Chain A
Amino acid sequence: MDLLPTIWFIAIAVLWTGYLFLEGFDLGVGMLMKGFARNNTERRVLLNTIGPVWDGNEVWLLTAGGATFAAFPLWYASLFSALYLPLLLVLVALIFRAVSFEYRGKVDNPRWRARWDWAISLGSLVAAFGIGAALGLTTTGLPLNANGDREGGPFAWFSAYAVLGGLAVVGFSLLHGLAFLALKTDGDVRHRARRWFVRLLPVLLLPIAGWAISLQLLSGEVWTVLAVVAAVVAAVLAWNFARTGAEGRAFLSLGAFLLLGSVSIFGAAFPVVLPSTLNPDFNLTISNASSSDYTLGLMSIVACIGLPLVLAYQAWTYWVFRRRVSDAHIPEAHSFLPAIAAKALAPKD
């Protein structure tokens, strides 16, 4: 009986879902810095909706990675080493994106800002795509040998599923970002975000639906297929709520869509955590890739204490910063003359 590994499979699915739910919208908002936002004030509105929370959201990725290492070291080792180059791209994208948030406003110069805007936008896009590709491939498989190492060279991971998974997370994040902006901003940005949401929903959710459905064909069960159906219902609800201006409900319905989609995807993959496309005997499963029951038990206790706390104080953060952000809240660009240079300009006594 693989009770603890099963619990940890669910825990890791929860962590990834939490990551996609939270960082999903800040990746989306990041991508929308180009194309959606029309001027510097709008860009600053976008940035300040996610400013206080994006870093906390990104820790969900580290926790998902760390928990995979602790609970399923063989899964962690095989997945991360097989996807060496795509994960390198993800890392570089995340580095530039993180630094951009902090550094963009530090120099009052349009060229400086434009560069960091590209870094945020492209960084968010590449990170979302890479993480989506990795998640897609862990459900559909990689060419792994008996030791769990990739065969076939640096690009052996590349497949239609990699593209599908990548597009799935990009599409979802963009839509989720629009839903978040409609909920968190006011004025023109809010209304435009809602319009875009209604118009783009069918297109942006297509890849993630494609991923969920192909998994059902590969290894679905009745209950995971039902989850797909429920997810489609949630998407329709989200669309309808957004159309009628119920932004909060649209956002939550899209969250429900993600949750149900995750249930259908991870549920269909279970108990395999990383299939081998070379030989099913080399599949990594919750039984052959997991840590000992002792370690899993310890981690269970830690997670039971830690995760509710995280949810509580992160929820509090969203409560503290619950106000909508609009043009009017954005202070003037903060340009300063160094005190030392200012000396020369100051009137002499």
Chain B
Amino acid sequence: MDALEIARWQFGITTVYHFMMVPLTIGLGLVVAVMQTMWHRTGKPEYLRMTKFWGKLFLINFIMGVATGIVQEFQFGMAWSEYSRFVGDVFGAPLAMEALLAFFVESTFLGLWIFGWKQLKPGVHLACLWIAVIGSVFSAYFIIVANSWMQHPVGVEMINGRPVMTDAWAVFTNNTALVAVPHTIFGALAVAGAFLLGIAWYHLWRRRHDGIDTIGADGKVVPGEAAIPGRDRTDHAVWIRSLRIGAVVAMISFAGTAITGDLQGKLMFEQQPMKMAAAEAACHDGTGFSILSIGNVGSKNCDDIVALIEVPGILSFLAKGDFTTEVKGVNSLIDQYKADYGTNLPDNPIYGERAGQEIQYVPVMEVTYWGFRMMIGFGGLAALAALVALWVTRSGTVPASRGLMRLAVFGILAPFGANAAGWIFTEMGRQPFVVAPNPDPSGIDQVFMFTAAAVSPGVSAGELMTSLVVLTAVYAVLLVVEVKLLVKYIRGGVVAAMPELAHVPADENEDATPKGGGPGKPGDADDVLAFAY
């Protein structure tokens, strides 16, 4: 592999990894904020327990998103210095704004939330979480504005060979970003939904398995108590409510991703027609959407690809909103791209050994075709599972089947898969460009950049390989640690996140959990810390 390929692998691995932590942070953050709001309003102990339990898992995951996020910002300059030089005038601004206007808010107010259970008034404490969560949504917005500019450059003029921002409003209201932001947020909520569903299912199943909850004669659950801290009737309420919240969130977010994804498809058809064709592995023009194509989908030879199951008209609907518009296949697009952007890479030293080579305008179609389908498939699977879950838990608990429980836990992975597949599709589908040309009449023609020109010329393949190996190894180790900790705290149940539940109250009048009365006053100044590392 040469420097360019290593740098691309590194960017892909670190970004996909980072984007496993991020959606869980955004989605779970929103859900925990709602739970704490419910506690604040009703004072019901189950909402406090839910806030503490899911909040604990949220924090274990949050820190990984933070730690791997720094790599993302540094990587542009380290491995992609030519890219940074080319786009800096317009691309740096949203990144700087993300740090200054969003990430500062998120980090600072989350610190207040984690440590401020006693120091802050309950309303202020709750507000801190909401502010942090809203910060994370703004964070997503700024990053997607930056990414969308690479997909669909707007608001610039070419001056001395570099795009220079002339219209910030156009950059920050790029239609590509305006549909990608809600798509991403719904994608994040889908992750949180399946996460709640799977884990709550496990605990409900465990309560049945341990004989705590039983099914009464009317077919409804009879929640029981065990003489173990945290395994009382309230515990049952914690899990069934979490499960239902999770299922509803999963279904709403699937609907949200479908609607916003449809809008994205229509923009993609106009803005990046080659990506659309590659998503379909369509070599010829057509209207049908392939459910399953076999043969060599990477081939531009139409005889190599057989669409086994194809729904006529659907591709046109995805692209244009009707059933008849012909969507161009890769073969008809190649000539157009060659005419517009050249047949060979320029003879410029910036391209290294690739200078003068023929340009491959078709992305890796195995990846785009299957990436597109995995995104939709995993997303749909998670929503279907949520619907089934709501149906089978109408008795107030889950079936005693161990297999179903395992399926529900395993299902946590589906939305992660959908998110990863979607990003891999959209980023690989943009190749060979790192900044895709904007074909609008309003677009500026020269504003595009081949990925081959973007890598740091001064950085050796050896350095890149070192960092690829080191970062991948570190990430792998930390993934094991994170998952182990998550599993430990998940199995521990609510009491793992609320050790006060396990303490025998010294005074009989003093219960460890606030009863009915809702959030208490800020604690005594001489107390031990409410939360401490």
B227→A346 contact, CB < 8 A: yes
Report chain B residues within 8 Å CB of A92.
470-471, 474
A186 nearest CB across to chain B (Å): 12
A-B contact pairs, 16 of them (CB 8 A): A53-B108, A56-B107, A62-B99, A69-B91, A69-B96, A76-B92, A84-B456, A94-B70, A291-B165, A310-B104, A314-B104, A317-B111, A321-B115, A323-B525, A328-B528, A346-B227
Measured in the bound complex, the distance between the Cα atoms of B81 and A145 in whole Å is: 14
Pick from A70, A149, A329: contact of B93, CB under 8 Å: A70
Measured in the bound complex, the distance between the Cα atoms of B488 and A83 in whole Å is: 39
Number of residue pairs across A and B with beta carbons under 8 Å? Answer: 296
Measured in the bound complex, the distance between the Cα atoms of B84 and A79 in whole Å is: 11
Report chain A residues within 8 Å CB of B466.
85, 88
> Within 8 Å of chain B (Cβ to Cβ): is A281?
no
> Within 8 Å of chain B (Cβ to Cβ): is A320?
yes
Measured in the bound complex, the distance between the Cα atoms of B178 and A166 in whole Å is: 43
A88 nearest CB across to chain B (Å): 5
Pick from B77, B206, B464, B533: contact of A44, CB under 8 Å: B533
Pick from B64, B79, B502: contact of A336, CB under 8 Å: B502
With A74-B88, A94-B67, A292-B165 already in contact, the answer to whether A299 and B111 are too (CB < 8 A) is no
B85→A73 contact, CB < 8 A: yes
Most chain A beta-carbon contacts within 10 A, residue among B82, B111, B494: B111
Q: Which of B146-177 contact A (CB under 8 A)?
A: 159, 164-166, 168
A320→B119 contact, CB < 8 A: yes
B74→A91 contact, CB < 8 A: yes
Pick from B70, B77, B93, B495: contact of A79, CB under 8 Å: B77
B77→A295 contact, CB < 8 A: no
**CB-defined interface of B66-93 with A at 8 Å, one 1/0 digit per residue?**
1111110110111101101101111111
B66→A61 contact, CB < 8 A: no
B533→A51 contact, CB < 8 A: yes
With A69-B84, A87-B78 already in contact, the answer to whether A291 and B92 are too (CB < 8 A) is yes
Report chain A residues within 8 Å CB of B105.
313
Measured in the bound complex, the distance between the Cα atoms of B63 and A105 in whole Å is: 14
A180 nearest CB across to chain B (Å): 16
Pick from B98, B166, B533: contact of A101, CB under 8 Å: B533
B108→A74 contact, CB < 8 A: no
Measured in the bound complex, the distance between the Cα atoms of B164 and A73 in whole Å is: 12
Interface contacts beyond A69-B76, A325-B529: sample of 15 additional A-B pairs, CB < 8 Å, sorted by A: A61-B70, A66-B100, A69-B84, A76-B84, A76-B92, A77-B85, A78-B81, A91-B471, A92-B470, A103-B481, A145-B458, A150-B458, A306-B104, A329-B528, A330-B528
> Within 8 Å of chain A (Cβ to Cβ): is B381?
no
* Residues of A contacting B: mostly: helix
Pick from B63, B488, B489: contact of A99, CB under 8 Å: B63
Measured in the bound complex, the distance between the Cα atoms of B496 and A105 in whole Å is: 13
Report chain B residues within 8 Å CB of A101.
63, 533
Pick from B60, B87, B91, B495: contact of A339, CB under 8 Å: B495
Measured in the bound complex, the distance between the Cα atoms of B92 and A126 in whole Å is: 27
> Within 8 Å of chain B (Cβ to Cβ): is A106?
yes
Report chain A residues within 8 Å CB of B228.
339, 342-343, 346
Most chain A beta-carbon contacts within 10 A, residue among B91, B100, B471: B100
Measured in the bound complex, the distance between the Cα atoms of B87 and A200 in whole Å is: 46
A95→B474 contact, CB < 8 A: yes
A81→B77 contact, CB < 8 A: yes
A294→B528 contact, CB < 8 A: no
**CB-defined interface of A295-323 with B at 8 Å, one 1/0 digit per residue?**
10011001100110010011001001101
Report chain A residues within 8 Å CB of B210.
340, 343
Measured in the bound complex, the distance between the Cα atoms of B92 and A69 in whole Å is: 5
B77 nearest CB across to chain A (Å): 3
A317 nearest CB across to chain B (Å): 6
Report chain A residues within 8 Å CB of B418.
none
Report chain A residues within 8 Å CB of B120.
320
> Within 8 Å of chain B (Cβ to Cβ): is A58?
yes
Closest residue on chain A to residue B86 by CB atoms: A73
Report chain B residues within 8 Å CB of A78.
81
Pick from B82, B100, B529: contact of A307, CB under 8 Å: B100
> Within 8 Å of chain A (Cβ to Cβ): is B356?
no
> Within 8 Å of chain A (Cβ to Cβ): is B5?
no
B92→A77 contact, CB < 8 A: no
A77→B493 contact, CB < 8 A: no
> Within 8 Å of chain B (Cβ to Cβ): is A35?
no
A216 nearest CB across to chain B (Å): 29
B63→A73 contact, CB < 8 A: no
